[in-house]
Structure 1
Amino acid sequence: MVYFNNDNLPAGEIPEEFGTLVDLQSLSLLYNNLSGSIPANSFQTLRKLQHLSLAKNKLSGVIPHSLGNLTSLTYLLLNNNSLTGTIPPSLSELFSLTKLGLAGNNLTGVIPPSLGNLSNLLWLDIGYNYLTGTIPMSLGNLYSLTLLELSETQLMGPIPPQLGGLSNLTYLGLEFNNLTGQIPDSLFNLSSIQLLSLQSNNLQGSLPGDMGNKFPQLEYLYLGVNEFHGFIPSSLCNSTNLRDLVLEYNQFSGPIPPYLGQLDGLFRLELGVNQLEARDPTDWNFLTSLTNCSILSHLGLSANNLGGMLPSSITNLSTTLQILYIDYNAIEGDIPEALGNLTILTQLRLAENQLTGNIPSSLANCPLNWLDLQGNMLTGPVPKEILQMPSLSVFLDMQNNMLSGPLPAEVGSLINLQQLDISNNRISGEIPKSLGECLLLGYLNLRNLTGIISLNLSFNDFYGVVPKQGIFQNSSAFSITGNSRLCGGIPELRLPSCPSKVYQKHHSQKMKLIIAPIAAILGCIILVPLLVVRFSRCRSLRNSQTSETLMNERPRVTYGDLARATEGFSSTNLIGNGSFGSVYKGFTNYDGKATSVAIKVFNLQQHGASQSFLAECQALRYVRHRNLVKILTVCSGFDSAGNDFKALVYEFIPNGNLDEWLHNPSRRDGLANSLLDINQRISIAIDVASALDYLHNHKPTSIVHCDLKPSNILLDHDLVAYVADFGLATFLYEDANQSTSIRALKGTIGYIAPEYGIGNEVSTYGDIFSYGILLLELFTEKRPTDSTSEEGFSLHQYVEMALPQKITEVIDQNLFLGEHSEAYKPDKSDMEIDIVCITSVLTVGIQCSKEEPAERMQITDALRELHRIREKLNGTL
């Protein structure tokens, strides 16, 4: 196998000189950041070539027809590039081909029916393109095929019955298309199938009662977001290997089969948004049976016709349960105290039911990061125990209940929480001062609380005359206790009279240093409302101009389009929440083609949301890079109620974010490869560094991301990384008069460069610091906010002290589980090489996260070093 790195290739393109290597049999240029087109003339001379991989680069242009002359090819992998045009019919002349990968490009046109002539093909992956037409019936002739991936290719029409003849097929992916009709009966003859994904189409009909008998090897069944109806077949219990059963967003009715509890390997059960019923205790027997599912992690029952009281058996669900959704039903009675026995539950949604009674304090035993109890009839106080949960970091919603009493001061313990809503209850009293300790809170709705906001200047060393005007006319509106050298003021203060004017003049210069900040504060109190009005008008104009430019450059979408794409912004399509809004997965027409998209809807009531919208519009208008999330269009207008509405529509990146992969691998659906190996982590690090290098060094104006962290790194099916969320991005203009660089604390705690904390301007050094911390987290699996030792060392210090002798003590031990992937390291699995390479990566992380900006490694140097480390790991150096 021949490997080339981008450093060896001029201008990052494939050199024509490859055409002289006429005896070459195997060529891999995987992960080389290559650009340009595939040189047609060079490759047509390589008649002995058997393996050709140009995957995961930035290649553009069309697929040369001349590749059809390479008749010795058995592997042809061109996936994850930016190739355009159609699939050349000449590829059907490669009769020796066993593996064809064209996924993740911008290919158009139809799937050539002549591909059905490739009788030796084992693996056909052409998903995630912009193809049209129907699935060719001729693909049913590929009798040796084990994998067929056609997901998200905008295909229409019915599923050809001929696919039922692919008796060796183990993987069939047809999700996110526009397929119609019923599942052909012949498809149930695929007795070897292990993964069947048909979700997000327009398929209909009922499922055969003996379906489970026909799929004995089935592990993953995804039929969500279609129009299936009828009962859920009880025979699915005979698919004893079933791990994921996803039937949400259909029209299934009747009871939930209790026989599903016989699937002891069931990991994920998603039945939300159907018409399933449970009206009496007998109907709830399925919950009792699910206690036999010893690894059940996800249970989704949202938006069905479930009624009555929650049976006590729900508290006996497996202690492996992490996500439980029973919201939008008609469940009555109390929330069972014993739910606190679910000791690893991270998300609990009981919203929009008819629950009564108090919120059980036992829920504090669960490590919840998301608790949604809104829209019930809950009474009593807000439990202090809930407010003291350190795990609550994303969402706590108790609005629209009948909770009463004051908001406890323990609310200040929610230092990691991003959204808190307790509005529309009977809560009264003052706003707890401790609320100011919730540093990450991005959305807060208290509504019913009372009290005043006062100016507290107590216990300082102020001296001089206290004014008698403005806020200082009312002694209850301010406090100056503990400033023994003050004088004058209103009589109620009982301060001594001030000395003579000469003495006052002597001190007036010093007083300016003290009074000026106070005056500034008071001035802000008076002027801010006026300035906000004026500024908001200017900002609205800039927003309008920027978003209008984006809309002119891209296909337009309306609020109605986006509402339809997300089923009315349904919670079942919610895939994330941030400081300034929510992100939904949708399916819409973009540029005349049906496309899966991520829609970021801004909460314009949230302070800073409009600026974030503007920042993303400005930044994403100018950037084009394979490792940056791609913006498709922008929506700026009004919602159905006439309120301002702003949203950004992005290309959907299907494999979650890096934070989930590192810290919540069960979110990866329980797959065996849910843990990132060494090579994958280095490749992700290189992808992110490539994006930063582009932003900092390859634009006329440098762009600083300002919020680089694992949750803003998205991963696609091939684990290619994309940097997302430009809501805090800053342009650094050479002309200081134009610069949008500001003195502000921008970013997320743990990843913010230390110089930002003392008021330094935003700079590229800040991103490099964040990147260094991300590198350390990537290979230690420790967050920068974790307590790394009893002494409270930072992540940087923790790793630096371990280098090099004790490095194995800080490395994520998951890296040493199982064998290394032969796809990356065919010739060695020497752990010593792994440790040396990881040590080198962590050293880069240490160099990037130095406290002093000038001491940090340049991103270009870090990128070069990471490429060198990957070469060493793969044995090509």
Structure 2
Amino acid sequence: MILSTSATGKELHAAISIKESRPWTYKAILCVDPYHHMLATSAFSGRIPSNLTNCPELRVMDFIQNKLIGNIPVELGSLRKLEKLYIGENNLTGGIPPSLGNISSLQVLNLGLNNFVGNIPDEIGRLQRLSFFHVGANNLSGMIPYSLYNISALSTFSILLNQLNGTLPDNIGLTLPNLRFLSMSVNKFFGSIPVSLSNASRLETIDLSYNKLVGQVPTDLGNLLDLQWLGVGQNNLGSNNSKDLDFLTSLKNCTKLEILEFSSNNFGGSLPNSIRNLSMQLSKLYLNDNQLSGIIPTAFENFINLTILNMANNLFTGSIPAYFMKFQKLGGLFLGGNRLSGHIPSSIGDLTQLVVLYLSRNNLEGSIPSSLGNCKYLQSLEISTNNLGGVIPISHFPQILVLSLAQNSLNGTLPVEVGNLKNIFYLDVSENNLSGEIPRTISDCLTLENLYLQGNSFQGTLPPSWASLRGLQYLDLSRNNLSGTIPKDLQNLSLLYLNLSFNNLEGEVPTEGVFRNASGISVTGNKKLCGGILELQLQACDIKVKKRGKSHALKLTVIIVCGILCFLLSSLFLVLYWRRKSKKKSSSTLSNTELISKYIKETEIVDQEEMIIAVKVLNLQQKGASKSFIAECNVLRNIRHRNLVKTLTCCASIDYKGNEFKAIVFEFMANGSLENWLHPNIDNENQSRNLNLLQRLIIAIDVASALHYLHEYCKRPIIHCDLKPSNVLLDNDMIAHVSDFGLARLLSATNDVSQNQTSTVGIKGSIGYAAPEYGAGGVKEGDVYSYGILVLEMFTGRRPTDKMFKDGFNLHNFVRMALPERLVQIVDPKTFPQEK
């Protein structure tokens, strides 16, 4: 830092020149040059010193683009000769001090790009010499002091990016006749645009966008011959009729107009032919997000200097004009969200400066023109939701960053050249007709963050080398034909969302990374997946049973079905060993052998390997248990249906204590009983289980299918007699299987109950589910009654034995009273999970 002095009278001035690049903290060193300037560079940090009043001759204070913090010292108001105050683009806070209104000599006040709050003080309106006022990009609020609109010297009035509100004065163009730059965008102003703006004849920029203005755009803005930028977008202007765009006709005199922005309003009708008279200098035209209709007029072909043309999200019809090829400077073309049809013209490829092409959500057809490969600067291509076919010409877009081709009819494979897209971070080819394997070269797209391949026919296994995609955050591979296991590399990525649902994946689901977050992943519809975190509610991965040693000892894992009296069954080898030791006569043959002709000897169970089973062991101390066992075996031997629990064998023997032992071995149902899903135990580790509406509907259909089979398609009709949620079991695919036929009845050919082949254990059915028809002989109807109660319980979440049901009030009355107006009120709220 070099300091020098020069004396003029009694005043001492110092010249400052910053030579050092290292940060320097300002410490109230008063440095002014002979022209009364305080200079600054980005090296300044700290606070603005309050003792600047020691420099009463200071005229220019320039601390723009520094790292200053704290408030503006109120003492600055005593610098009565200060003409220019530049303290924008810092980290200053607090409010604008009213004392600045005392600096009557102030011509430039630049406070923009800070963190100022509060109102603009009324005192600022006293600065009648002020020509440049910039407080944009702060957090200011309240209304603009009307005194500020009366500073006739103002040429720049910039208050954009704040929270200011109010209406614009009707006479603003008269009170601010020297205004050149007016920027009030991104605030909360309401009301109409004053007609008097046309009286500020020197205006070059009008930016009123992102407010709440209403009404029509004044039609005499054509008087502003120097107008270069007119921005009224993102308001509520217009009334969706043909006269909304009349203001465009008046702009024919604005020959310097370069930017015209009237997007996101309520403008309707078609574009007037007078639009051809707009300035040939027009470079940016934004008319997107309105209700404009008709074809794209030929009048546009005059705008050869266009760099951005945004017509997206309107009602335009017809084809994309071929004359667009004349826009050789065009960098952004946005036509998406209309009703355009026909082919994408190959002449689009002549726009060699094109960077962004947005054609999504139209009715375009044909193929993607290979001529787009001439657009060497193309970085974003979005043509999703059209009727395009053919293959993906990925090799033509080596510089692409965003490629969205979703919801078309593209076919073929995802080309291996996808690996050449070194800079791509967004790739969406979902909902097409793509097939083949996902190319392994996709792992070369190191910058990829979003990858959407869902809704195609991709097959094969997942590429093993996902680990290189360190930036990948969103991955959707759902609804394909992918197989194999889930690569463990996926859990090492930075994924926030992963959807692998409805494929043919199998094996264990990882538990780290994104797989720890149940709301961030989906693996539904993969029937052979297991493991994972508890919230996924997948079946446990198989615990394989194997022989061990010369003694052929077998460790058999037996899982007990909830709601049925069960226990862990010991190895039957041990049973045989105990019987030999005690020298008791084996009694492994039932007296009613004809009723269990499918009986498999105990030793045959031992030979089964790698099988998880469920065992129902009967409590033979209960009256009628043996007859129930015989009845159940008799029923189960002749039935086979996908919605009935599969019986592996019936067993009868002597246990290690010499007591009679009877058991039925079933196929294991991984997801337990419907009872546990509808009414999870608060102490159960699976209490987070829940059934959505579709799952409940499918289960109801499954159970109905089982009953229909039992009643109508068995050689001898079978009546279950005890249908309830605890007797409906769910496999690993959530398919329902009806179980427990201990109370079942066989009907004769004449539909009479076969008394000699039925269980006689107590009253048929369970309280709440048993129907009066059982006593009246209508046994089929009894099953139907029980089924109806089960369905009501499934969708209301209430048991028929709920304590609220008493004195003749029951579950079906509860539902009947709610129909139809209050149906939503009685449906189990867990049926429709709330979004997080």
Instruction: Report the TM-score when normalising by structure 2.
Output: 0.52
For residue 54 of structure 1, report the CA deviation from its aligned partner. Answer: 2.3
Match of 1:219 in 2: 258
Match of 1:169 among 191, 203, 228: 203
In the alignment, the residues of structure 2 paired with residue 328 and residue 643 of structure 1 have an alpha-carbon distance, to the nearest angstrom, of: 31
1:125 touches 1:150 (CA, 8 Å); kept in 2?
yes
Larger radius of gyration: 2
For residue 322 of structure 1, report the CA deviation from its aligned partner. Answer: 1.2
Match of 1:432 in 2: 463
In the alignment, the residues of structure 1 paired with residue 16 and residue 179 of structure 2 have an alpha-carbon distance, to the nearest angstrom, of: 28
1:76 partnered with 2:76: no
2:219 touches 2:250 (CA, 8 Å); kept in 1?
no
Letter in 2 for 1:226: N
1:100–1:377 Cα change, 3 Å: same
1:98–1:440 Cα change, 3 Å: same
1:364 touches 1:389 (CA, 8 Å); kept in 2?
no
Match of 2:426 in 1: 395
1:381–1:44 Cα change, 3 Å: closer
Taking the TM superposition and a 5 Å limit, the aligned residue runs for 1:72-221 are 72-140=105-173, 141-204=175-238, 205-208=244-247, 210-221=249-260
In the alignment, the residues of structure 1 paired with residue 87 and residue 687 of structure 2 have an alpha-carbon distance, to the nearest angstrom, of: 49
In the alignment, the residues of structure 2 paired with residue 149 and residue 45 of structure 1 have an alpha-carbon distance, to the nearest angstrom, of: 30
1:260 partnered with 2:305: no
For residue 2 of structure 1, report the CA deviation from its aligned partner. Answer: 8.2
For residue 320 of structure 1, report the CA deviation from its aligned partner. Answer: 0.7
In the alignment, the residues of structure 2 paired with residue 409 and residue 36 of structure 1 have an alpha-carbon distance, to the nearest angstrom, of: 55
Match of 2:416 in 1: 384
For residue 321 of structure 1, report the CA deviation from its aligned partner. Answer: 0.7
In the alignment, the residues of structure 1 paired with residue 274 and residue 383 of structure 2 have an alpha-carbon distance, to the nearest angstrom, of: 30
1:356 partnered with 2:389: yes
In the alignment, the residues of structure 1 paired with residue 833 and residue 384 of structure 2 have an alpha-carbon distance, to the nearest angstrom, of: 25
1:212 touches 1:235 (CA, 8 Å); kept in 2?
no
1:3–1:213 Cα change, 3 Å: farther
Match of 1:409 in 2: 440
The alignment partner of 1:132 has SS state of: strand
Taking the TM superposition and a 5 Å limit, the aligned residue runs for 1:749-768 are none
For residue 232 of structure 1, report the CA deviation from its aligned partner. Answer: 2.5
In the alignment, the residues of structure 2 paired with residue 227 and residue 433 of structure 1 have an alpha-carbon distance, to the nearest angstrom, of: 51
Match of 1:239 in 2: 279
For residue 333 of structure 1, report the CA deviation from its aligned partner. Answer: 2.1
1:455–1:39 Cα change, 3 Å: closer
In the alignment, the residues of structure 2 paired with residue 176 and residue 69 of structure 1 have an alpha-carbon distance, to the nearest angstrom, of: 33
For residue 490 of structure 1, report the CA deviation from its aligned partner. Answer: 13
Letter in 1 for 2:165: T
Letter in 2 for 1:218: L
In the alignment, the residues of structure 1 paired with residue 284 and residue 181 of structure 2 have an alpha-carbon distance, to the nearest angstrom, of: 19
1:16–1:428 Cα change, 3 Å: closer
In the alignment, the residues of structure 1 paired with residue 487 and residue 428 of structure 2 have an alpha-carbon distance, to the nearest angstrom, of: 31
Match of 1:723 in 2: none
Match of 1:375 in 2: 407
The alignment partner of 2:201 has SS state of: coil
2:329 touches 2:353 (CA, 8 Å); kept in 1?
yes
1:297–1:642 Cα change, 3 Å: farther
The alignment partner of 2:188 has SS state of: coil
For residue 271 of structure 1, report the CA deviation from its aligned partner. Answer: 0.6
Letter in 2 for 1:339: L
2:245 touches 2:272 (CA, 8 Å); kept in 1?
no
2:76 touches 2:100 (CA, 8 Å); kept in 1?
yes
The alignment partner of 2:357 has SS state of: strand
Q: Deviations over 1:483-512 (max 9, x none)?
A: xxxxxx999xxxxxxxxxxxxxxxxxxxxx
In the alignment, the residues of structure 1 paired with residue 253 and residue 468 of structure 2 have an alpha-carbon distance, to the nearest angstrom, of: 58
1:37–1:381 Cα change, 3 Å: closer
Q: CA RMSD in A?
A: 3.3
Letter in 2 for 1:309: H
1:211 touches 1:233 (CA, 8 Å); kept in 2?
no
Match of 2:475 among 426, 432, 444: 444
Match of 1:314 in 2: 348
In the alignment, the residues of structure 2 paired with residue 377 and residue 265 of structure 1 have an alpha-carbon distance, to the nearest angstrom, of: 35
Match of 2:26 in 1: 7
1:170–1:645 Cα change, 3 Å: farther
In the alignment, the residues of structure 2 paired with residue 642 and residue 415 of structure 1 have an alpha-carbon distance, to the nearest angstrom, of: 39
Q: Deviations over 1:10-54 (max 9, x none)?
A: 9933322112322111112323433333332x2232211111122
Match of 1:273 in 2: 313
Letter in 2 for 1:216: T
In the alignment, the residues of structure 1 paired with residue 686 and residue 205 of structure 2 have an alpha-carbon distance, to the nearest angstrom, of: 56
In the alignment, the residues of structure 2 paired with residue 145 and residue 187 of structure 1 have an alpha-carbon distance, to the nearest angstrom, of: 14
1:6 touches 1:32 (CA, 8 Å); kept in 2?
no
Q: Deviations over 1:242-269 (max 9, x none)?
A: 1111111111111112232322211011
1:395 touches 1:420 (CA, 8 Å); kept in 2?
yes
1:535–1:198 Cα change, 3 Å: farther
In the alignment, the residues of structure 2 paired with residue 426 and residue 348 of structure 1 have an alpha-carbon distance, to the nearest angstrom, of: 23
Match of 2:291 in 1: 251
Match of 2:705 in 1: none
For residue 219 of structure 1, report the CA deviation from its aligned partner. Answer: 0.9
Match of 1:341 in 2: 374
Match of 2:51 in 1: 17
Match of 1:671 in 2: none
The alignment partner of 1:24 has SS state of: coil
For residue 212 of structure 1, report the CA deviation from its aligned partner. Answer: 4.7
Letter in 2 for 1:243: S
In the alignment, the residues of structure 2 paired with residue 66 and residue 455 of structure 1 have an alpha-carbon distance, to the nearest angstrom, of: 67
1:111 touches 1:136 (CA, 8 Å); kept in 2?
no
2:85 touches 2:109 (CA, 8 Å); kept in 1?
yes
Comparing 210-219 and 422-431, the one that deviates more: 210-219
Taking the TM superposition and a 5 Å limit, the aligned residue runs for 1:450-465 are 450-453=482-485
In the alignment, the residues of structure 1 paired with residue 117 and residue 686 of structure 2 have an alpha-carbon distance, to the nearest angstrom, of: 44
Taking the TM superposition and a 5 Å limit, the aligned residue runs for 1:704-715 are none
In the alignment, the residues of structure 1 paired with residue 279 and residue 686 of structure 2 have an alpha-carbon distance, to the nearest angstrom, of: 62
1:228 partnered with 2:262: no
Match of 2:364 among 331, 343, 363: 331
1:423–1:373 Cα change, 3 Å: same
In the alignment, the residues of structure 1 paired with residue 397 and residue 134 of structure 2 have an alpha-carbon distance, to the nearest angstrom, of: 48
Q: Deviations over 1:512-542 (max 9, x none)?
A: xxxxxxxxxxxxxxxxxxxxx99999xxxxx
- Higher-RCO chain (CA-CA 8 Å, sequence separation at least 6): 1
2:370 touches 2:396 (CA, 8 Å); kept in 1?
no
- Could you list the runs of 5+ residues in structure 1 that have no partner in the other structure? 457-469, 472-476, 478-488, 492-532, 538-640, 647-877
1:81 touches 1:105 (CA, 8 Å); kept in 2?
yes
Letter in 1 for 2:62: S
Comparing 178-187 and 294-303, the one that deviates more: 178-187
1:6 touches 1:33 (CA, 8 Å); kept in 2?
no
In the alignment, the residues of structure 1 paired with residue 222 and residue 409 of structure 2 have an alpha-carbon distance, to the nearest angstrom, of: 47
2:269 touches 2:291 (CA, 8 Å); kept in 1?
yes
1:112 touches 1:136 (CA, 8 Å); kept in 2?
no
1:224 touches 1:246 (CA, 8 Å); kept in 2?
yes
The alignment partner of 1:340 has SS state of: helix
Match of 2:336 in 1: 302
For residue 3 of structure 1, report the CA deviation from its aligned partner. Answer: 9.5
Q: Deviations over 1:800-838 (max 9, x none)?
A: xxxxxxxxxxxxxxxxxxxxxxxxxxxxxxxxxxxxxxx
Instruction: Report the TM-score when normalising by structure 1.
Output: 0.50
Match of 2:451 in 1: 420
Q: Deviations over 1:523-574 (max 9, x none)?
A: xxxxxxxxxx99999xxxxxxxxxxxxxxxxxxxxxxxxxxxxxxxxxxxxx
Match of 2:541 in 1: none
In the alignment, the residues of structure 2 paired with residue 253 and residue 109 of structure 1 have an alpha-carbon distance, to the nearest angstrom, of: 39
In the alignment, the residues of structure 2 paired with residue 101 and residue 381 of structure 1 have an alpha-carbon distance, to the nearest angstrom, of: 56
1:202 touches 1:226 (CA, 8 Å); kept in 2?
yes
Q: Deviations over 1:204-256 (max 9, x none)?
A: 12244524513211111121111112223444444111111111111111111
